[in-house]
Amino acid sequence: MADGKAATVPGHVHGAEGSRRDFLMVATGALGAVGAIGAVWPFIAQMNPSADVLAMSSTEIDIGAVKEGQAITAVWRGKPVFIRHRTKEEITKAEADDKADLRDPETDEKRVKKPEWLILVGVCTHLGCVPLGQKSADPRGEFGGWYCPCHGSQYDTSGRIRRGPAPLNLALPPYEFLSDTKIRIG
């Protein structure tokens, strides 16, 4: 300015008083944000799955006692899971069927992590029935896998749909081998 005095802006305080006010405003805002997050957090946390739901989200199964040619049924998320220790003949047949005219094309190699173990969700993809074929006395249909008696869907030894109204192959659950004798589904 011409008279040597600094111009002042209305509502703005210079010097130590101004920096203190700025600090208090930022600190108050930050404390309010932390308080709001602390108040909202319990509501967000209650939306997480409960312990019983988490327990159902994965299951570990010991497959060491399942002999070649045998099958067991486990339960994962309330659904049956078919675990079959396939014979060399079943593996050979499944690999040979890779070249067949498949409704839902998928090679046997893509459906298994280890050729001798086939792990499937045991729910027919037509109307949600549970196909037969886990027990040695069960009918397995023309392709040697599973047979759904409700509407006649037939699956091969890789769980692929071969005949009947089912539109898709038997689903593959997410799984991993923890060891040679133990798997975790989910």
pLDDT tens digits for range 143-163: 989 999 988 999 999 999 999
- pTM summary value: 0.69
Q: Check: CB of residue 92 under 8 Å from CB of residue 138.
A: no
| Among the ranges given (26-30, 55-59, 77-81, 147-151), the one the predictor scored with the smallest mean pLDDT | 55-59
Q: What is the mean pLDDT of the chain?
A: 87
Residue 85 has pLDDT above 70, yes or no: yes
Q: Could you tell me the pLDDT band of residue 3, with boundaries at 50, 70 and 90?
A: low
pLDDT the model gives residue 128: 86
Residue 10 has pLDDT above 70, yes or no: no
Residue 184 vs residue 5, higher pLDDT:
184
Burial of 90 (0-12, 13-18, 19+ CB in 10 A): buried
Residue 8 confidence (pLDDT): 57
Transcribe 43-78 into DSSP letters: HHHTTSPPHHHHHHH-EEEE-TT--TT-EEEEEETT
Decide if 57 contacts 76 (C-beta within 8 A): no
User: Which of 94, 117, 116 is CA-nearest to residue 107?
Assistant: 94
Positions marked active-site? 151
Contact 126, 164 (CB under 8 A): yes
pLDDT value at residue 71: 93
Q: How far apart are CA 76 and CA 20, in angstroms?
A: 61
Residue of 4 and 90 predicted with greater confidence? 90
Residue 90 has pLDDT above 70, yes or no: yes
The residues facing 155 across adjacent strands are 146, 161
